[in-house]
Amino acid sequence: MLHAEWKTSAHARARRSPLYVAMRDRSKNPVCEVCHAPLAGLTDPAELSVDEGVTCEACHAIRDVGDNAAEPQYTFDLQGNRKFGPYCDAKDNYFHKMGCAPAFRDARVCGGCHAFSMPLANGKSLPIITEFAEWRASSFGVSGTACQECHMPAETTHAATGTERKVRVAHHGFMGEKGEIVQKALGIVASAADHAGKLAVSVVLKNEGAGHAVPAGVPGRQVVVRVQALDEKGRAQAREERTIGRVLVDESGREVPFYAAIAEKRDERITPGETRTLAFELDAPRSGSVVIEVAWRSASPALAEALGVPAEERSMGKIEIPFGGQRTGKGREHLPKTVVARP
Ligand code: HEC
Ligand code: HEC
Ligand code: HEC
Ligand code: HEC
């Protein structure tokens, strides 16, 4: 069952997700494999696990992670088929040969890969994967609430198929059963009011569920906020969209994949605990509804097009606020000063 959970995770696809393959092929940089296929080159290439990305073997071969460097460094131990894990009580495990690695209990075990910068020609470096650094600076890092608390919540299950013995195991899907963790990231509150003949919509986003900036991950990820005014038949009459993310650019100021970037143009991600208010003003019908959709997007449209890979979307929440018409018998000028709604 740990295996089935892991299979659904991006760790299992780390060497073959379409976005990764497109970027890896164009960057022609062998450094990618250090984290996306950590055992490539270290073990026999004929072994299946080498091609499977961030496998059980890869994580559980981490003997220690140095804590002094700005970016944590691993020590892999592939000797003697020992697997490392959080337990230092050798009886309570189902590895054949058990190694005790205290780093498994804290964020350092994630930090070795979830912290990455690229060297630039001017001698400086450009941060790329920033979750570990952001986490360390946040209240979660200060209180020692590790990545695992959110990404590997403990559940009680059978130790192995066919056994009655129950143990406490950490979920190995990393984004929840079906990726639903993405819906816990932002608290969303929306309000609408009539304003001088227009519909004024305010969307308040609070990063209350993530231990790092949102959207997390590789630069180019986006949070999309879409506001639409619909008439009573549900037809869109007006629409506006804003995106939140981090944009890296080349010499000409064009958004490019991180390996081709020379600078950060902007970073509008929402930091842990931060509240962001977005204001919209739409031409809207006298009656109908306003629909606010917040979605996670795997890559900005510019990057997706340049790489020839479709951008994926997942809902982070949706709010609908009806106004006027059958509900009140009046037009939207009779909308209360503000109508507040949550998903
Ligand atoms: C050996 C390197 C490595 C280690 C160790 C590692 N990760 Fe990852 N992780 C990756 C890579 C590479 C990806 C991106 C995979 C891809 O290409 O989509 C990733 C992706 C993820 C994702 C996105 C999952 C999804 O389904 O979208 C989460 C969440 C995550 N890691 C959390 C963690 C946590 C928590 C830890 C520590 C317990 C950890 N990782 C340890 C390399 C690693
Ligand atoms: C991205 C790194 C990573 C990958 C990949 C990974 N594990 Fe783990 N594993 C961990 C961490 C971290 C813990 C400790 C979690 C805790 O206790 O909070 C752990 C704990 C365990 C444990 C001890 C019981 C428990 O849950 O605490 C077992 C057994 C285990 N993993 C087996 C596997 C198997 C089998 C696979 C492949 C299907 C796998 N792991 C893949 C990081 C990983
Ligand atoms: C308080 C809970 C919490 C903690 C602590 C936390 N995360 Fe997350 N993480 C989230 C939520 C919620 C999301 C979904 C929102 C998003 O993708 O931005 C997420 C998303 C991610 C992603 C997905 C990025 C993507 O687009 O594929 C990665 C990778 C990740 N976290 C890694 C980490 C690592 C590494 C740590 C520890 C250094 C950590 N997280 C600590 C809650 C948490
Ligand atoms: C130090 C470790 C490390 C190195 C080196 C690294 N990555 Fe990653 N990469 C990660 C982690 C961790 C994630 C997970 C964050 C996320 O889910 O966006 C990730 C995510 C990605 C993603 C998003 C995957 C998806 O399926 O959406 C792409 C694409 C990517 N990396 C490309 C590359 C390329 C190309 C290189 C080499 C030029 C590279 N990476 C080098 C750690 C690394």
- What pLDDT, in 10s, does the model give residues 276-313? 999 999 998 888 889 999 999 999 999 999 999 999 99
Decide if 71 contacts 115 (C-beta within 8 A). yes
Q: Which ligand is nearest to the CA of 146?
A: 3
| CA separation for the pair 26, 35 (Å, rounded) | 17
Q: Give the other-Cβ count within 10 Å of 315's Cβ.
A: 12
Answer whether 112 contacts ligand 4 (Cβ < 6 A). no
* Domain 180-341 -> CATH class: mainly beta
Q: Supply the mean pLDDT for the chain.
A: 85
Nearest CA to ligand 4 atom 37: 32
Q: How far is the CA of 212 from the centre of ligand 3 (A)?
A: 6
Does residue 331 carry a pLDDT above 50? yes
Reported as a single tens digit per residue, the pLDDT across 9-47 is 899 888 889 999 999 999 988 888 888 988 876 666 555
Q: What is the pLDDT of residue 301?
A: 97
Q: Which of 84, 106, 114, 140 to mutate to test the pocket of ligand 1 (most atoms within 8 A of CB)?
A: 114
Q: Which of 36, 67, 147 to mutate to test the pocket of ligand 3 (most atoms within 8 A of CB)?
A: 147
| CA separation for the pair 112, 73 (Å, rounded) | 5
pTM reported for the whole predicted model: 0.92
Nearest CA to ligand 4 atom 16: 217
Q: What is the pLDDT of residue 92?
A: 47
Segments making up each domain of the chain, as ranges: 2-170, 180-341
CA geometry: angle 308, 26, 249, nearest 5 deg: 80
CA-23 nearest atom, ligand 4: 35
